[in-house]
Amino acid sequence: MLDLTDRHCRAFFRLFSSNVRLYTEMVVVGSIIHGDRERFLGFDSCEHPVALQLGGRDPEKLSFCAQLAEQWGYDEVNLNIGCPSDRVKNAQFGACLMAEPQLVADCIDRMVGSVAIPITVKTRIGIDHCDSYEYLASFVNAVSNAGCRHFIVHARKAWLKGLSPKQNRNLPPLHYDRVYRLKKDFPSVQFTLNGGITGIDQIKTHLSKVDGVMAGREAYQNPWIIKEIDDYFFASNNFPGGKPGSSRSAPVHSRQDIVQAYLPYVEKQLSRGVRLGRMTRHMLGLFHAQSGAKRWRRYLSEHGVKKNAGIEVIHAALKLIDADANATNVNAVRADCRERQHSDAMNGRLYMGDTPAVCVAGNG
């Protein structure tokens, strides 16, 4: 996801699962060719398996960047043909390339012919008025014939005229049935479904009809779902069709475990001059829907961005979570005791305070 899944985010996500494939934010080919390659291609070895997502429309430049990606050790190169942002649209790549299937096919042909790692395509189900299933199938046919054997399909169309990038993430309706139909019509091609993924039950349904599922916004806002996915589908081997599972070598049991596991990476990056806020911004959703989540987010947001902020900021934020958890446990015990007081009084037993202090004989 653009401006979100940078190397620090991916290193954080990897702590939840050693199995799920991670994708970089979209990197424009011009940035790689003319810019700082360590900045745009560098990643930590812990991120594997990891895919580089490229943005561009020139077959030669895309081929060159795919070769660089292979040299740098990426496991896959993904061509983004789904991004509807104004910046991307003005440069005539991203989602607008759905209107040029032959050019996309030429790009894929050059990329596939220049590397040994997989070349995949991330796309929408349509754009503007090019939104029929027939158009989508024709697009997939042209691009798959050029050598793409795996499509990641966001099951929404993109309105390039009239909707903002944010609106394009939510307003166009989801049509999962079209992705299912693609799999039926192109059985030898892999299809991963993307868009609106929020839970395990939903993923189970999709995996009975397509080859894979990609979670984006939900995973970023609630990264604990990555662990839930790993536990259910990989560690417990619950893939439809019995695909082999795998378990983490160092499983985590709590969100606090995740924080402790991330600290060595944070310290290493701080020693290299990376600002703490570049890492803590990806941790804000860790305690999503948990006691103390708001205080966690606020503390990291306010203190993580300060100049010279160090590892102590994360420790302090974690203490807020622990304090809230303890308070919640005390309140839960008190509520349970009140309930027992009421129940036992009705049955002839009386509890004083939080312990059974007095027992009074009841009815006979």
> 12 in a domain, yes or no?
yes
pLDDT of residue 295: 96
Residue 22 is assigned to a structural domain of this protein: yes
Q: Are residues 166 and 276 in the same domain?
A: no
Same domain? 170 vs 43: yes
Q: What percentage of the chain carries pLDDT values higher than 70?
A: 84
Q: Is 201 a member of any domain?
A: yes
**Is the pLDDT higher at 89 or at 64?**
64
Confidence check: pLDDT of 353 > 50:
no
What number of other Cβ atoms are within 10 A of residue 61's Cβ? 18
Same domain, 181 and 260: no
Does residue 267 share a domain with residue 201? no
Average pLDDT of the segment spanning 73-92: 90
- Output the pLDDT for position 84: 87
Q: Is position 38 within any domain?
A: yes
Question: What per-residue confidence (pLDDT) applies to 364?
Answer: 35
Counting residues of the chain whose pLDDT is more than 90, the rounded percentage is: 74
- Judged on CB neighbours under 10 Å (0-12, 13-18, 19+), 174 is middle
Do 218 and 313 lie in one domain? The reply is no
Based on the domain organization, do 231 and 259 belong to the same domain? Answer: no
Under a CB-based contact definition with an 8 Å cutoff, are residues 10 and 24 in contact? yes
Q: Is the pLDDT of residue 154 over 90?
A: yes
pLDDT for 251 equals: 64
Lowest pLDDT segment from 35-49, 83-97, 176-190, 262-276: 83-97
Residues 179 and 37 in one domain: yes
Q: Rounded to an integer, what distance in angstroms lies between the CA atom of residue 66 and that of residue 110?
A: 10
Backbone angles phi, psi at 86, to 5 degrees: -60, -40
pLDDT tops 60 at residue 355: no
| Domain contains 47 | yes
Per-residue confidence band for 333, with pLDDT thresholds at 50, 70 and 90: very low
Residues 149 and 196 in one domain: yes
Q: Are residues 308 and 200 in the same domain?
A: no
Paired tokens of 255: 């969100």
Cα 25 to Cα 2, 61, 270: the distances in Å are 5, 18, 22
Residue 268 in any domain: the answer is yes
Do residues 121 and 211 both lie within one domain? yes
Among 209-218, 313-322, 352-361, name the one with the lowest average pLDDT.
Answer: 352-361
Give the model confidence (pLDDT) of 119-145 as tens digits: 999 999 999 999 999 999 999 999 999
Count CB-CB contacts under 10 A for residue 78.
22
CA distances from 270 to 7, 199, 274, 275, 309 (A): 14, 34, 5, 6, 9
Residue 330 pLDDT more than 90?
no
Q: Are 33 and 61 in contact (CB under 8 A)?
A: yes
Vertex 122 angle, CA 116 and 127, to 5°? 145
pLDDT band, very low/low/confident/very high, at 347 (cuts 50, 70, 90): very low
Q: What is the pLDDT of residues 245-285, one digit of tens each?
A: 554 445 678 999 999 999 999 999 999 999 999 999 999 99
- The answer to whether the beta carbons of residues 20 and 103 sit under 8 Å apart is no
Number of independent structural domains in the chain: 2
Digit-coded pLDDT (tens) for 178-229:
999 999 999 999 999 999 999 999 999 999 999 999 999 999 999 999 999 9
The whole domain housing 306 covers 255-323
Q: Is residue 155 part of a domain?
A: yes
Residue 350 banded pLDDT, cuts 50, 70, 90: very low
Least confident of 168-172, 225-229, 333-337: 333-337
Where does the pLDDT of residue 340 fall: very low under 50, low under 70, confident under 90, or very high at 90 and above? Answer: low
* pLDDT at position 339 over 80: no
What are 264's two structure tokens? Answer: 């060595």
Catalytic residue among 9, 46, 65, 83: 83
Q: Give the pLDDT band (50/70/90) at residue 169.
A: confident
Residue 351 lies in a domain: no
CATH number, position 194: 3.20.20.70
pLDDT higher than 80, residue 74: yes
> Are 141 and 107 contained in the same domain?
yes
Report CA dihedral (43, 49, 12, 248) to the nearest 10 degrees: -140
Domain final residue, candidates 235, 264, 290 = 235
The answer, yes or no, to whether the previous bond of 49 is cis (omega within 30 of 0) is: yes
Q: Is 96 a catalytic residue?
A: no
User: Among 203, 235, 267, where does a domain finish?
Assistant: 235
Question: Residue 302: pLDDT above 70?
Answer: yes
Same domain, 191 and 73: yes
Return the pLDDT at 160: 87
Give the global pTM: 0.85
- Say which CATH number the domain at 295 has: 1.20.120.1460
